[in-house]
Amino acid sequence: MLRSQAILTNTRVTSDPLPRTIDAADDWPDLAARIDAAPEDAKVRGMFLSEGLRLAPKSVKSNVRTHYVPFSLYPVREYMQLLLQIARARYHSKPAASALLELGFGVYSQFASSIAGAAIFATVEQDFRRVCELSPKAYSVTLKPGGTEVVYAAPNDAVVKLRDVWVYPDIFHAGIWLGAMDACGVSGSIEVRRHSLSDVDFHMHWQQR
């Protein structure tokens, strides 16, 4: 279960890994409005846009750029727009936030299997605590700006701060971390405290399945 408290809206959202749904007030217009709030010079690696395209229905591919160089940097705004288009088309029966959460689920495994990801997470195996501890390295090579700070990481409990992460940190990145839990063979919960559109704190609890 993912439990999230969004400070800006003073609401609580909940999610279960299966089915992966999130009870959030954010609708498509709310999520789209965040795009213009992201800095124009914020960038993300092309590998993530390419992975998004792999999941995109033909109706989306016909209206967007169709090639990205994996380790080149592209505008975060473009990535956010692409995610919304894919989420809305691929998961049209889901609420907006749940659709966006779903897209995040496979990102960790995709990055961990890349050259850069393998270099960072090679020693992780199925140790989610190590994923938490190594997350600053992963974020530093994938986003500009953007990063994580590990407040602490215990065997079954961690607090990680995401800062200057504009790509829907309270929803999409929550999905990424849920996917990392799944890849490590653990079940758990994430409490998300949102301070701004780009700054959130994750308090995570997990146990081996």
CB contact at 8 A, 200 and 181: no
pLDDT at 30 over 50: yes
pLDDT of res. 21: 66
Across the range 80-93, mean pLDDT stands at: 94
pTM for this prediction: 0.91
Q: Could you tell me what percent of the chain has a pLDDT over 90? A: 68
Question: For 17, phi and psi rounded to 5 degrees?
Answer: -55, -40
Rounded CA-CA distance 176/49 in Å is: 15
Q: What is the pLDDT of residues 138-186, one digit of tens each?
A: 999 999 999 999 999 999 999 999 999 999 999 999 999 999 999 999 9
The 10s digit of each residue's pLDDT in 95-151 is: 999 899 999 999 999 999 999 999 999 988 889 999 999 999 999 999 999 999 999
Beta strands in the chain (DSSP E): 2-6, 11-16, 21-22, 43-45, 73-75, 143-144, 147-154, 157-163, 186-194, 200-208
In the block, residue with structure tokens 């439990």 = 3
The per-residue pLDDT for 165 is 98
For residue 165, the tally of other CB atoms under 10 A from its CB is 24
DSSP assignment of 164-179: S--S-TTTHHHHHHHH
Helix, strand or coil for residue 90? Answer: helix
Three-class secondary structure of residue 80 per DSSP:
helix
pLDDT reported for residue 4: 47
Query: Average pLDDT for residues 36-55, to the nearest whole number?
Result: 95
Q: Which residues contact 41 (CB under 8 A, 6 or more apart)?
A: none
Residue 12 has pLDDT above 70, yes or no: no
Residue 137 class from Cβ within 10 Å (0-12 exposed, 13-18 middle, 19+ buried)?
Answer: middle
The rounded mean pLDDT for the chain is 88
Euclidean distance between CA atoms 141 and 132, whole angstroms: 15
